[in-house]
Amino acid sequence: MKNFVILSSLILRQNFPQKRTGQVRVRRTDGLKNKVGLTLVELLIVIAIFGIVIGIAFASYILGVKVYNRESTLSQMQTTGRSTLERILEDIKRATEVLDTVTVDSITYNSSDSVIILKIPSIDSSKNIIYDWDGNISYFDYIIYEIDTSLSKIKKSVSPNTASARNSQIGTEILSNVASSSNFSYYPENPPINWGDISRIDITLNLQKTVKGENLTVNLKSYAKIRNN
């Protein structure tokens, strides 16, 4: 009898399962299980990559600034050099001769490979040559170009005739302050035996400047013939 009761109970449970009350199966929906995040290793890798990118960008910026400063300085040196060279050449073309020596304001200058003394006809306010009553050129100005390698300067000194319009230029002017091994060469003989025989002057300008440890150099060469040669 006891066995029959147990068997009947099993059959009832299989065919008529009891309804469970008070029990609720809760499914987690907070997403914590599926949430994506960075591990410490991944974070360190990101930081390292970011640092490399910033380093490359900064290095490129510094290089760009350096190149810009270099090219800007070279351009300025070339502009100064060409302007200086053109001014010397123009005065050589106006000169009637090169003098051996001249004294200006108690200072004696002697022509050499670093000094050139030009004798140039005086001009009026309209920049025309002043002639005397006989139509001759009798009034002259003296222009001295001096290359001071010890100070890396190229100087221009003007000693005009009292009748000349170049009186406004009297004194010494610094044409360049970055000149190094610049020089003058004379033809047909260098050094000349007779300064009055010079017909052509060659000019070599070497400009040098140091920018943040880098030596920048500009080399310019040209020549001009004395007036009427």
pLDDT of 184 higher than 50:
yes
Q: Which two tokens stand for residue 173?
A: 């002017």
Residue 193's CB is within 10 A of a number of other CB atoms, namely 7
- pLDDT tens, position by position, 52-68: 998 898 888 888 888 88
Question: What mean pLDDT, rounded, does the chain reach?
Answer: 82
- In whole angstroms, what is the distance from residue 181 CA to residue 149 CA? 7
Give the whole-number percent of the chain exceeding pLDDT 90. 35
Name the pLDDT band for 16 (thresholds 50, 70, 90).
very low
Predicted local distance difference test score (pLDDT) of residue 198: 92
Pick the residue with more confidence: 91 or 46? 91
At residue 19, the pLDDT reads 53
